[in-house]
Structure 1
């Protein structure tokens, strides 16, 4: 396909091309409008669509897989159908909407997100995946004539909190709708494609691991930058260039520089091996207490000098991103020309025209603006949305030269750079600091290299003590992460499925999920192992045979004997520990005791008994060997008799060597002989033990010369029996895990009156329209009318507890805005506790805990306070909220209030409407333009 260029093909070639165009007319018209030729994987995906098949396209970031999605849009418009283009995040929806409007015009394209509703009945609508899920459950008329759905970033179905939505959509879409899945390259694309084939019908899987822009890997040691890999060993067709798999080994110069730096660090007194959570040879390394990484300013200047800007530096900390920008600005760094600064100012003015003048200072507007004019920016979830959108626009336009970002930038937003810098190879995952996975590393570095602009991209890792270049090379060369389903039924899903399908068909639908598909695949492997074990059990039964008697019977006696001995030993040990504690608790100052084992053995005098409130004792003693210190019950075994008494001075300076020597001499002068360790009483007096020992000795196999060999085979056989019991339990559980979870959920919902059989009650219909992690808590509060008496600000405060989740570095304030909100939150908490109690009793995951940390701030805002006042209230309560977080949480509260408004009765419905109006103002009301 020539795209208008001069055609030098032969008549035969032109004939074949004409036949192709006749076979794929939609593709021909689509390609004719493109300014570039399709890559092979793009062409394959588009042909599959025109053949009437669904398609899953897995390709690296920046490879151009969205072209296949855009072809689905083209076909819908050409054929008079509809196409929905879904994305996981609002920012990506906004970006895709702008792209499609620029291509097809505003009249043909709509947008539906939680913030925006633009031309919602257009033939092409961009939306978040949750919006489409809600439309499917509501049987929206806008689903009529839907011919295709594009699911961009479809690998989001692995997301712990939101991934289930993707599977719900895939399972509920009408079979006539073509599905276009666009994914990062995952290592189990074939498995995912096989599932799509099973639940959606004909599906073509297109996997392309070739990066259109080669990526070169580097490490910076100090201020010097080295190639990560040595000389290429295979690049005959040029496709291996920039791919780690093509390289034989670590660059020798890098290996030497890293070794030298490690040696210098050790001489300075650092020890990377002793630092928490790292070791030499690790991926992450450790900066230690004496190591200073290269200054951020130096890194950027190094990249600038090498022509490697624009760059994205991933820091994994919001505060770190802001600090990096501040460091660069304070250094006087300026990366823009006068002409570029004028263009930057124009974009800023256009984007921020609606920002309230009074809020500019608290938003850090002037500092943000100055950094942008210098070509420097931060990008993270705590920023005001309009700030992030401005940074994205300027970066794509080439006006921002360096961005310091958290990993959220790597998720979907189209902001490629020439270079990506990783300051660390660890991140905080909500529970602790963990190493980046190979998939995460590839996702982050995949931003490097802009197609059509750069001939190559660059990834730079900053070296730190303990970081082994070979481990980093392993990250860079591994195939990406496997896609794992996070699908689990929720209360809302349960009532919607049961209402539409009934419990039996709902259960069958869950069994079609990717989660169950993967679970079943695991079941196959476990079931095969069970079969192999059964075969080995039979073989071991032959090997353990004895000509004198029954080995299995003898082995059973041996086990019974060992179990009885262990039981008696355990009981005796418990009695001895109890006696020790009792005797230690009775000791007084000056008592002489004996220590009967270890390096402290001998006589000792009690200097301080120290009995704690829980009854445990840690007596301070002085031994005849002049050692002074505290002992614990573990230093004794059994009784601790008092052997005598020694008069002690009122104050004993036991830290003084002279005092210790005098007391030790006085102790020995008492003439008390330290008793020897008493032998433990024989357990042979136990009648059952005596019988078992006699039975073992009397058994015929006991006298066999090959007894040990027989017992060895018997143990192996018993281990296989035990393993099979565990595997069989896992198989039974995995085969019906989702179905059983649904049954337990439905049981709880019936007990609380949301279902009568398979029929939704009035309460059930309310629950079916609440899309929230706290869906059942919300529905229960509405049914119990806990919030009906609240005013708008109080309602906003109470509802915030159901959506807000404090970051790890925030604390929940102890105060609440008003007595009314405090009372309502107390009642809500009591109801939540009731629900979680029943959930635990039924073996279900408990509903998320309430968090009051945003209540004061959102009350202030809903009550007409300024942004400065609202943030000050949050800070007073211990929650230092950035403006971007404040806006994000306000919008989530608005979203839940909107849902409640649609299902609540008066007066609560009106209060919800008033609360939304009070919240949706100022910076909270600003949406992407």
Structure 2
């Protein structure tokens, strides 16, 4: 494709260097860039968005300026650094990822977005001469932790810098582009939904592959052959259930009618159809590893001898620095055998060097089948001919939920290699027990294109300190009001305001029917509504009082007490076998005179009368045995024979002692509208008026909550930080204190806790390994319920002391956050303490993994997760090294960095 004549000379020169022509959307975006505009490019995965980013690099170099190329994750930064170095030479391209700093003064620097954000807050000299910033994979804006970073960068970049934002196709690209235009000035939005390699949709039923859609390109009608085959499968399944279950038969013996095909069968079918290489998405790390093991147990080999030799060469080169003693611990030999046969897993729990080896081999076409978690769909350049989805349901952190159309599009977007494949293929496996994988459901997912971009931006402690220090609170509020989060909130308000206007119009019409907004009937209706609300509140209070009284009575019961069950099916005499354990929800164990044994609650026992008496019980009551229950019930009746047993049905006295309620009722009877002839008809109109009035008030509250909501959060954080001494002074001239400047240098989810630990000396006096262990508690997050284990065996007394101090400071912060209505920080997590202490002390991988706790239940971390968390701790330790208030702590942090950065943690650090 040739460049149109209207494009500028730099674009013509850039295109002349390319081995391929540009698509229309790439030309539009590049031409806008050369004309001095910022651009937002939204296009499908694999469409070639990064060409626009590379043209920004070209423009900056041609003008003698700088270009920063940012990505949300280190792996992408490393990949882009290699690409740009290959094109422009190592002397002109640098890399900054926190882990690595290579040629940082180069005119082109690839970096993670966090690095650029930190440079902007520090007003780094490296920003001088910067003309272009590329933000690759900007759809990471929806990420909980990284969303704020993207918006901070976009808001803080100097006006003269041209911004190039690259995103996957999102359904609200115009909204996002409108916001960027608002905050950055002239921005061209280029949206292209055309896939360069068309995508065919399929379903696999058993070992047979079917087209999802009817032939002829109609993307709404499901292929009737697929529907017929599934119907036949279901009928065969139903008939098999009626077969006599003789020897070797029955559900377990039947040939897999319920289950989908095995993983080796799926790969073998794809191989036979010429659809490899394939990525199969499995929504669990353990599932990915298990899939490779299943394939290794089968006689499945996807490589020839020449390919095996080339694979072995790459493995040996990549893994040369791994210690021989660690290979067995890392599962190296099984991983290697999988690769040699063309099979691999890919997920964040893998050792980085293993994961990067898989990426290199797959990109080279040497690995033919990869089982991956959905993280592979985000950014890593590993396209395949085919993408397989085993299930259309995944765990979202709280529950198992169906894939959204946006997630389906993102995952299947990996299918089809540009310049290699004529078309890509998406294959969904059919399961009889999976309603989400029915053809109609899959067709709906495949034909829907909705992936809205939502902001996760919110002020943090570090952001607040930096904003106050840089520009003062007034300017900071204005900046927050310009965020994409506030932009989206304000746009949502437009519809709400329209709703209020509609409501007001309806109120005018209803009021006119009643004789105006000051009509006596309206006043009467308000009075009646007040009485109803007060009666309900009184009834609720009475029920609550009775519940509390019953709970107190239940909690006071002791073993052997004889009581009367006053309501429910268990009514009558009972004896307490075991008192309640929980005072908040008391449920004592009882046995009734009718031989029933079980726990009762306030729903069964009112506690209106005290226990009737008590009786002796055997030391151990085997109440589950019918004979024991029968004998004990007889003994209960004998013990109660001489006691005064009240009747089962208690009388409840209506105690209406609310004088205010009585006064309101009297006021209602005397009201001028009480005796009007058509009172009830008019009241129906008045009650409708009051309902609309209430709805309008609720909408007004929503508008108030949405408008300037970020500025209000900022103000609450400002008050908390002032109370804690990080900021001093009030009004328009607050000043960041020395402690505040310390906080400004901590970029962590637990930024305030780290700063408090540093200034209170909670981490002083520790050895390097002990400091690493304690720092891990504020960084690590168990993969279980998110509140990691506490009270695990800690290696040393000094670690216990420091962790206790850290937890105490955390509890104080959380208490303050609750008081100020700020989202609560997460608590420290001890799950990595013993592991990283062991590693920093000995460097022994096997014992370090054995000491780790990956999910709060004692199971060890994978080697990849262990390395990832070590690097997270390294990142925070490096910040402690810079920010710590004492030389001793700075020195300890530096030594801890050296003690952790070795062995598998240092290998393939990208």
Which band: TM-score by shorter chain?
0.7 to 0.9
Query: How far did residue 520 of structure 1 move?
Result: 1.1
Which of these residues, 245, 254, 278, is aligned with residue 311 of structure 1?
278
1:435-834 maps to which residues of 2 (within 5 A)?
A: 435-464=402-431, 465-467=433-435, 468-545=438-515, 550-567=520-537, 569-570=539-540, 573=543, 604=572, 606=574, 612-613=580-581, 614=583, 616=587, 619-621=590-592, 633-634=602-603, 692-693=664-665, 695-697=667-669, 699-757=671-729, 758-808=734-784, 814-834=792-812
Secondary structure class of the residue paired with 2:908: coil
Aligned pair count?
A: 873
Hey, what's the Cα distance between the residues in 2 that align with 1:874 and 1:717? 63
Which of these residues, 71, 78, 101, is aligned with residue 117 of structure 1?
101
Secondary structure class of the residue paired with 1:853: helix
CA contact (8 A) 1:548 1:701 kept: no
Query: How far did residue 494 of structure 1 move?
Result: 1.4
Hey, what's the Cα distance between the residues in 2 that align with 1:376 and 1:166? 36
Quote the residue 1:908 is aligned against.
889
Change (3 A) 1:79 1:333: same
Change (3 A) 1:555 1:252: same
Query: How far did residue 707 of structure 1 move?
Result: 2.7
Give the aligned CA root-mean-square deviation in angstroms: 3.7
Quote the residue 1:162 is aligned against.
146
Quote the residue 1:891 is aligned against.
871
Hey, what's the Cα distance between the residues in 2 that align with 1:716 and 1:416? 59
Query: How far did residue 401 of structure 1 move?
Result: 0.3
Query: How far did residue 849 of structure 1 move?
Result: 1.4
Secondary structure class of the residue paired with 2:371: strand
Hey, what's the Cα distance between the residues in 2 that align with 1:548 and 1:158? 49
CA contact (8 A) 2:831 2:853 kept: no
Quote the residue 1:381 is aligned against.
348
Query: How far did residue 521 of structure 1 move?
Result: 1.1
1:415-430 maps to which residues of 2 (within 5 A)?
A: 415-430=382-397
Hey, what's the Cα distance between the residues in 1 that align with 2:518 and 2:799? 81
1:807-886 maps to which residues of 2 (within 5 A)?
A: 807-808=783-784, 814-874=792-852, 878-886=858-866
Change (3 A) 1:554 1:302: same
Hey, what's the Cα distance between the residues in 2 that align with 1:731 and 1:893? 42
Change (3 A) 1:722 1:264: farther
CA contact (8 A) 2:558 2:579 kept: no
CA contact (8 A) 2:622 2:628 kept: no
Hey, what's the Cα distance between the residues in 2 that align with 1:2 and 1:901? 54
Which segment drifts farther, 828-837 or 632-641? 632-641
Hey, what's the Cα distance between the residues in 2 that align with 1:314 and 1:495? 42
Say whether residues 1:926 and 2:907 are aligned partners. yes
Write the deviation string for residues 504-540 of structure 1: whole angstroms up to 9, x where unpaired.
1111111111111111112222222222222222222
Hey, what's the Cα distance between the residues in 1 that align with 2:179 and 2:742? 33
Query: How far did residue 196 of structure 1 move?
Result: 0.4
Hey, what's the Cα distance between the residues in 1 that align with 2:628 and 2:760? 73
CA contact (8 A) 1:381 1:885 kept: yes
Quote the residue 2:253 is aligned against.
none
Q: TM-score, normalised by structure 2?
A: 0.88
Which segment drifts farther, 886-895 or 706-715? 706-715
Secondary structure class of the residue paired with 2:279: strand
Hey, what's the Cα distance between the residues in 2 that align with 1:794 and 1:513? 41
Change (3 A) 1:316 1:545: same
Which segment drifts farther, 564-573 or 108-117? 564-573
1:138-287 maps to which residues of 2 (within 5 A)?
A: 138-232=122-216, 246-261=218-233
Change (3 A) 1:529 1:869: same
Question: 5+ unaligned residues in a row in structure 2: which ranges?
Answer: 243-255
Change (3 A) 1:110 1:620: same
Secondary structure class of the residue paired with 2:221: coil
Hey, what's the Cα distance between the residues in 1 that align with 2:677 and 2:378? 68
Quote the residue 2:297 is aligned against.
330
Query: How far did residue 72 of structure 1 move?
Result: 0.9
Query: How far did residue 761 of structure 1 move?
Result: 2.3
Query: How far did residue 66 of structure 1 move?
Result: 1.0
CA contact (8 A) 1:605 1:646 kept: no
Write the deviation string for residues 864-884 of structure 1: whole angstroms up to 9, x where unpaired.
332122212226992511111
Quote the residue 1:412 is aligned against.
379
CA contact (8 A) 1:85 1:124 kept: yes
Quote the residue 1:41 is aligned against.
25
Hey, what's the Cα distance between the residues in 1 that align with 2:262 and 2:412? 21
Hey, what's the Cα distance between the residues in 1 that align with 2:316 and 2:226? 46
Say whether residues 1:32 and 2:2 are aligned partners. no
Which segment drifts farther, 153-162 or 863-872? 863-872
Query: How far did residue 891 of structure 1 move?
Result: 1.2
Secondary structure class of the residue paired with 2:454: coil
Question: 5+ unaligned residues in a row in structure 1: which ranges?
Answer: 4-16, 233-240, 271-288
Change (3 A) 1:218 1:560: same
Secondary structure class of the residue paired with 2:603: helix
Write the deviation string for residues 462-511 of structure 1: whole angstroms up to 9, x where unpaired.
22214232222222222232111111111221122111111111111111
Hey, what's the Cα distance between the residues in 2 that align with 1:830 and 1:676? 52
Quote the residue 2:247 is aligned against.
none
